[in-house]
Amino acid sequence: MLVALAFPKTNAVVLAPLGAVGLFWAWFGLSPKRAFLVGWAAGTVFFAINFAWFGETAGALIAPFGFFMTLGPGIGAALFEFALPAAAIALVRERAHPALVPAAAAAVFAFGEWFRSEGIGVLGTPFGSLGYTQVDSPFAPLASFLGTYGITFVLCLLAAYAAFAIRSGFSRRALRPAGIAYALIVGAVALAWLTWPARTLAPATLKVAAIQGNIAQSLKFKPESFYTALERYTSLTVEAAHGHPALIVWPETVVTAEINRVPWLQKRLGDLAKNVNAEIIVGGFDRNGADFYNALYFYRAEGLLDEVYRKRQLVPFAEHTPFESLLGWVPWTKNASHISMGTSSGVVEAGGVRVGPIICWESAFSGLTYGDVRDGADALIIATDDAWFGVSAGPYQHAQIAQMRALETGRWIVRAASTGISGIIAPNGRYVRVSQLNEAVVVAGTIGPPVRTAYDSYGPGGIAFGLALVYGGIFGWGRRRVRR
């Protein structure tokens, strides 16, 4: 519960490592089997709190099974990030040198966080990562070198060595390695700050705007709201044009129609882009035969449709049912949308800059943004519909995740959310322009060139491999030590 309080809306960020001390203290004193069970119980409590907003609106659609939108992902995430790592910690404790056990514990927990978030692909639930809590803390510069999961490792290193010292009664054999670990962490944070590429930014000169129309989710899919939304977003776009932006971003599925099947709508959007002399990115749906996509349409300033990006990472059991042939019998899966999965990154030049388009849930997958950067994106666009989550912690957590993507990749981000939070994020992870929830507003500002980060070279997969190597090395050396 203490760790959960480190996240929005409470934002007690110091509780991330402090709360984790209790977890490691417990696991260090248990057998692998008991550690597994205690870990699963603790993880289920943590994720039940952290994921409570999952069913804020959508839960009513699958009543009486709405509670499972929180509990189901929570139980699964707890297995991979808490239960299995806890058992692995108990195993290494029986074999490795005591002074190295905390390092192995921190590494396997952070690896578990990566695995349950992104390592299991379409079933990943990439919210509630400890590293996200530190986007505005002194640990933030580490993200450009180690990413989210690397920051989680550092937080767990602090917690695990504190738990080790407590377990050992603050003996010298515990305090000495803990002191060394803490000194190394302080040195790493200081070095990261001094060498942080985003400490200084080139002038931001490209004008952009994000449109937040504030159409409530309870109204959005009603037929009469289609025209309300179209008129409101058109009016706000014309208002944004007074600042002469090169790029204007609308949120996810703000147009609740298959745009490519409605010629008059395509013409209207093209004419709007031409009239305001800006490239407009519009969220809507796309139909290609039997395939139905959540998409972004790119209309150039000349009025021509340039690109259609189709969402690649779908929300399991909401936008699609993973392994439907096996899980189709589950009652609430019948209410899931049957959206098809896109396959291309869609990096495209828009408004004079190469942008990587990201839709909603995708922004929580660091591998996707890393892939866009590898494909040449110099800025990122996030279009999202956080109206599903009302005024719960969801929109705040999602907006915080976008900050981490900027820190990791060194890219400017333009984020358009249907009811908020919309904004422009600099490569240092700070919102330079930001909206409030539940207001119709134009968020206008400028973006600049990217900042190259070390993280660009290896991404989350490289970090996960390094974490596995740390645990495997300590465990393997411990086995040889036991045999001798």
Give the pLDDT confidence of 344-353 residue by residue, as tens digits: 888 999 888 9
The predicted model gives 124-131 an average pLDDT of: 93
Q: Is 132 exposed, middle or buried (0-12, 13-18, 19+ CB in 10 A)?
A: buried
- What per-residue confidence (pLDDT) applies to 344? 85
The predicted model gives 421-438 an average pLDDT of: 97
| Residue (of 186, 170, 178, 159) closest to 19 by Cα position | 159
Whether 128 and 211 map to the same domain: the answer is no
Quote the CA–CA distance of 187 and 252 in Å, as a whole number.
42
Domain residues for the domain of 165 are 4-198+459-483
Whether 45 and 67 map to the same domain: the answer is yes
- H-helix segments, 384-449: 394-409
Whether 192 and 212 map to the same domain: the answer is no
CA 33 to chain centre: 32
Whether 246 and 144 map to the same domain: the answer is no
Q: Is 461 exposed, middle or buried (0-12, 13-18, 19+ CB in 10 A)?
A: middle
DSSP tag of 90: H
Q: Evaluate whether 206 touches 426 at the Cβ level (below 8 Å).
A: no
Domain with residue 321: its CATH number is 3.60.110.10
- What per-residue confidence (pLDDT) applies to 218? 80
The mean predicted confidence, pLDDT, of the chain is 92
Whether 278 and 193 map to the same domain: the answer is no
Strands 423-425 and 412-417: antiparallel
Residue 463 has pLDDT above 60, yes or no: yes
Whether 89 and 15 map to the same domain: the answer is yes
Whether 440 and 471 map to the same domain: the answer is no
Quote the CA–CA distance of 180 and 172 in Å, as a whole number.
12
- What per-residue confidence (pLDDT) applies to 82? 97
Pairwise pLDDT comparison (77 vs 484), residue with the higher score: 77
Cβ within 8 Å of residue 254, ≥6 positions away: 213, 215, 229, 233, 282, 283, 284, 385, 418
Whether 311 and 345 map to the same domain: the answer is yes
Helix (H) or strand (E) holding 286: strand 279-288
Q: Evaluate whether 282 touches 250 at the Cβ level (below 8 Å).
A: yes
Residue 22 has pLDDT above 70, yes or no: yes
- What per-residue confidence (pLDDT) applies to 331? 57
- What per-residue confidence (pLDDT) applies to 484? 64
Query: CA torsion angle for 380, 383, 389, 395 (degrees, to 10)?
Result: 30
Q: What percent of the chain has pLDDT over 90?
A: 80
Cβ within 8 Å of residue 4, ≥6 positions away: 19, 45, 46, 49, 50
- What per-residue confidence (pLDDT) applies to 343? 86
The predicted model gives 49-77 an average pLDDT of: 74
Helix 459-483 × helix 101-114 angle, to 10°: 140
Predicted confidence band at 209 (pLDDT cuts at 50, 70, 90)? very high
Predicted confidence band at 403 (pLDDT cuts at 50, 70, 90)? very high
Whether 167 and 262 map to the same domain: the answer is no
> Lowest-pLDDT range, 74-83, 311-320, 427-436, 445-454?
311-320
Sheet holding 412-417, edge to edge: 348-350, 353-359, 379-384, 412-417, 423-425, 431-434
Residue 369 has pLDDT above 70, yes or no: yes
- What per-residue confidence (pLDDT) applies to 323? 60
Quote the CA–CA distance of 58 and 4 in Å, as a whole number.
22
Predicted confidence band at 122 (pLDDT cuts at 50, 70, 90)? confident
Greatest CA span in the chain, whole angstroms?
Answer: 78
Residue 454 has pLDDT above 90, yes or no: yes
| Residue (of 126, 145, 111, 136) closest to 367 by Cα position | 126
The predicted model gives 47-70 an average pLDDT of: 71
- What per-residue confidence (pLDDT) applies to 52? 87
Question: Tens of pLDDT along 308-365?
Answer: 999 999 888 777 776 665 655 555 555 566 788 998 888 999 888 999 999 999 999 9
Q: Is 102 exposed, middle or buried (0-12, 13-18, 19+ CB in 10 A)?
A: buried
| Residue (of 200, 197, 201, 199) closest to 454 by Cα position | 197
Question: Tens of pLDDT along 144-191?
Answer: 999 999 999 999 999 999 999 999 999 999 999 999 999 999 999 999
Whether 321 and 464 map to the same domain: the answer is no
Residue 99 has pLDDT above 60, yes or no: yes
Quote the CA–CA distance of 71 and 262 in Å, as a whole number.
40
Whether 55 and 96 map to the same domain: the answer is yes
Q: What percent of the chain has pLDDT over 70?
A: 92
Predicted confidence band at 60 (pLDDT cuts at 50, 70, 90)? low
For the chain, the distance separating the N- and C-terminal CA atoms, rounded to the nearest angstrom, is 42
214: left (phi over 0), alpha (psi -120 to 50) or beta: left
Predicted confidence band at 54 (pLDDT cuts at 50, 70, 90)? confident
- What per-residue confidence (pLDDT) applies to 31? 95
- Quote the number of domains for the chain: 2
Residue 162: helix, strand or coil by DSSP? helix
- What per-residue confidence (pLDDT) applies to 337? 66
Whether 433 and 361 map to the same domain: the answer is yes
Quote the CA–CA distance of 101 and 478 in Å, as a whole number.
10
Helix (H) or strand (E) holding 482: helix 459-483
